[in-house]
Structure 1
Amino acid sequence: MQTAASRPAHEILGQPLTLPSGLILPNRLAKAAMSEALGTADNRVTHALEQLYARWSEGGAGLLITGNVMVDRRALGEPGNIVLEDDRDRESLRRWASAGTRQGNQLWMQLNHPGKQAPQGLNRETVAPSAVPFVPALQRFFATPRALENAEIEDIIQRFGTAARLAKEAGFTGIQIHGAHGYLVGQFLSPHHNVREDQWGGSPENRRRFVLRVLASIRDAVGRQFPVGIKLNSADFQKGGFGEAESIDTFKALAAAGIDMIEISGGTYEAPAMTGIRAKESTRQREAYFLEFAEKARAAVDTPLMLTGGFRTAEGMAAAINSGAIDLVGLARLLAIEPDAPNRLLAGHATYHHVRPIRTGIKAVDRMALMEITWYTRQLRRMGKGRNPKPTESGFKSFLIGLLENGWGTFKTKRMRA
């Protein structure tokens, strides 16, 4: 008799997964969110997104999660973000959803608000739970935010619900809330970023109020049978910030509120643990960056867990699933350079490529996670144009081109609002 431990890795990865909502994922591989920045200057859906997601749908992952779609046109995370706050893009959204589900996989839209994590000058102003600036090294890139007023918080909560409803109507098969990597939801959860003393801060319970209200707003908009997940930090790795104990309590609160899946990550742009650039060698050998935390989370909740970051081999992925710690493996940067990697893994073959650190040779740049976005975003743009990714592209070249493109994109975005 063949036991689970003795089954080939590709068979384990090929198992379907049923979520609490009843949705069935055809396998255990998910394309995790990466910011595509493929929207127009006025933040509308483009044909490039259709081409990119059709490519990934054909790549074999059972679940695709989009890059962050913003819920407020006044609050962009970067030039080229898609914004969803009304039905003006109804037909192009439907084409995007259709292309991204063409092979029978699921396609979830990730919804986000950047809070203070928006480049200097992109928005008229930046807002956050509290007026806490970035660390000195990043203050030239990110402005000190204004603290949100209560009515503004309520408006943002409703915007998440509106965007979720529009995504469902367009044919997306689920929603993921971006609660990690230092964006607004994560800012509310973190005692470092949230120093409020009203109903939205001052205690762990109050800091969790925002994310739970966002989940409730989305549920009211899409119903109980439509899957809603969240990407959440294990910790933000900042002094006085969101730590593991508070994260576990947040997992429990979300599970009790009926979340369908929790994706585990960690870090912010100020402490970029999600990129693995500062991971210990023992962590690299184990492959998954946050597997130890996932084991703690599994002991606390029965909710399906997805883990993204550090996986390199089918055997490492299967071992993490077999351990019971996680249910779903998230792949991100690998699919930016090898979009067909899931098909190879599910067929029992090794991938052609491995994720490598992207270096420019400029120490100040290489210490941050910015190149891990810029370089990979360029690969997504290549695929959006119907071309193949270029895994050997120079990090320095990508950095220079990224500076020019982001500067031009910021200029065009500001001009559209003038």
Structure 2
Amino acid sequence: MQTNLADFIRDTRDGIDADAILRKCVHCGFCTATCPTYQLTGDELEGPRGRIYLIKQVLEGRPATDKTQAHLDHCLTCRNCESTCPSGVQYGRLADIGRRVVEQQVPRPAGQRLLRTVLKETLPRRWLFTPAMKAGQLVRPLLPQALQDKVPARQRAGAWPRTEHTRKMLFLEGCVQPAMSPNINAATARVFDAVGVQLVAASRAGCCGAIRWHLNDADGGRADMRRNIDAWWPYLEQGIDTILINASGCGAMIKEYGHALADDPAYAGKAARVSAAAKDVSEVLPAFEQRLRDKLGTRAGAQRVAYHPPCTLQHGQQIRGKVEGLLRAAGVDVKLCADSHLCCGSAGTYSVLHKEVARQLRDDKLAKLQATGPERIVSANIGCITHLQSGTDVPVEHWIELLDRALA
């Protein structure tokens, strides 16, 4: 694709990145076949190829409009198109750049601005979000259905293991997960304790930065990244070589730290090292598969489970097959549903900002998951788990919780 970027962005870091990405696109349209919003609407501008043209026009100097903004907002950033693209177009990075430029040109209505501000200022701060979630859980039966869908029932986490192990890994607790589903973190710690690994959570680490970054607040997102790097750096210097992450959305973001902070002379090198150390749980546990087999025996049972691989895992991090392999090694009958590559509609804050599209995608995903006849549904990201559970009575949980119960 030929480009002629406008002066305001041509020689900037974003401009250089965008130009390189745009030039890879060959207009083939393969991406439209795997784009959830294009599948729903059939509108070219609601697919990756159409959005790429919109971004190109804006970066070449054509003024953005509210329609431009709406089409970019409707993108889930699931990055399914990246898995499909034969030319290696990094659409996710291009979409982030395009949205930020459009955000500067098109004022949002007051209601949109308020909602986005509440999301990016509340969700990343555990000291705000946790008490708000606890209050919501206390009055959950009285809440409107739309709010009940976002407030899971209270959950017991169980004990965090106290055993000291020689092998240690850093562990990201996250911002919303400890309040919404505290058992996921505790279960992860117990599973790793069982294979001889101690998880260490740095107290100053918090939100990975994805919430602000994907709400077009790049400065806020980078501030979250720098805070986490500062929190983790002493441990990395002491020899811990892995930052373990059990929320795939966070993992996808942390693996981008090196790119996001590449122009920051104080943090570029550290960010690259952090990105290299970041590992999803499913990347690390296969090394302990035999030890898990020995401990589990047949205790996981032959229960039938439907697995929903989050987009941030299978497309964002390009990790496929590992969760299924671990569960099958534990004796679980795990199934992938039809169109397992498609997004469930959660997509971070998307299910709050675009409820109708998110609901349609959720219901379609649940119908296909339930067609496999599962006793429960498992996934690997808190957003997907909460979103799917809001539409079904079948239990939905993190796959690590299933292993934890079997080990117990």
- Decide: shared fold, TM above 0.5: no
The structure richer in strand per residue is: 1
Scaled by the length of structure 2, what TM-score is found? 0.29
Query: Comparing both structures, which one devotes a greater share of its residues to helix?
Result: 2
Q: Which has the higher contact order (CA 8 A, sep 6+)?
A: 1
